[in-house]
Amino acid sequence: MITIDCRGLRCPIPVIRLAKAIPTVAVGEIVRVLADDPAAANDIPAWCRMKDQEFVAADGHAFDVRRRS
């Protein structure tokens, strides 16, 4: 698992950093995004749906995404 710290950054930066990080991990691995922008709670799951990645969980300001392809 890799962690991307986007705390203090506003939309769309957390999603942009997630998009750049996903290709760097193996299929099946998780990228954790730390983001305190309230929009991340909607933006990250929406990005996962659009890009066919698996939104695993949200826990406070941590969002886990599993690479599908």
Enter the DSSP assignment of 66. Answer: E
The mean of the pLDDT values for the chain is: 97
* pLDDT above 90 (res 4): yes
Average pLDDT over residues 57-66: 97
| Inside any domain, residue 31 | yes
To the nearest 10°, report the CA torsion of 39, 65, 23, 13.
10
Number of domains in the chain: 1
Alpha carbons 25 and 8: distance in angstroms, whole number: 24
Catalytic sites, residue numbers: 11
| Inside any domain, residue 66 | no
| Inside any domain, residue 10 | yes
* pLDDT above 90 (res 3): yes
Alpha carbons 60 and 22: distance in angstroms, whole number: 21
List residues bridging with 52 in a β-sheet.
none
* pLDDT above 90 (res 62): yes
